[in-house]
Amino acid sequence: MLILTANRTVVLQLTYWMPDYPSLLQEFTWSYTDIVPELRRTHGFLNYWHKNISATVNKVMISVDDRGWQDYSNVINIYTLN
């Protein structure tokens, strides 16, 4: 099976809580280009967030080239992000 990779426009929407404001749900939205289907920059950003930012992730939504939002909250809930 042949899988073609290409640069596509990706929008990542992340909702999270900071320890200082546990009752305030915050949102971060980032638009960038990434290689589909690997999404290397996306994985790199989420790994950076996990290691360096003290926030609890609530939900991650990803949209690639206007294909609609994909909800990755079930995947994120497996990990405890501190």
Structure tokens at 46: 């989420």
Supply the pTM of this predicted model. 0.74
pLDDT at 80: 44
Which spans in the chain are helix H? 40-52, 73-76
Q: Is residue 32 part of a domain?
A: no
* Cβ contact 17:26 at 8 Å: yes
Q: How many domains does the chain have?
A: 1
Separation of alpha carbons 5 and 22, rounded Å: 40
Which pLDDT does position 1 carry in this prediction?
Answer: 63
Tens-digit pLDDT profile for residues 4-54: 778 989 999 999 999 999 899 999 999 999 998 888 999 999 999 989 999
Residue 51 in any domain: the answer is: yes
In-domain check, residue 28:
no
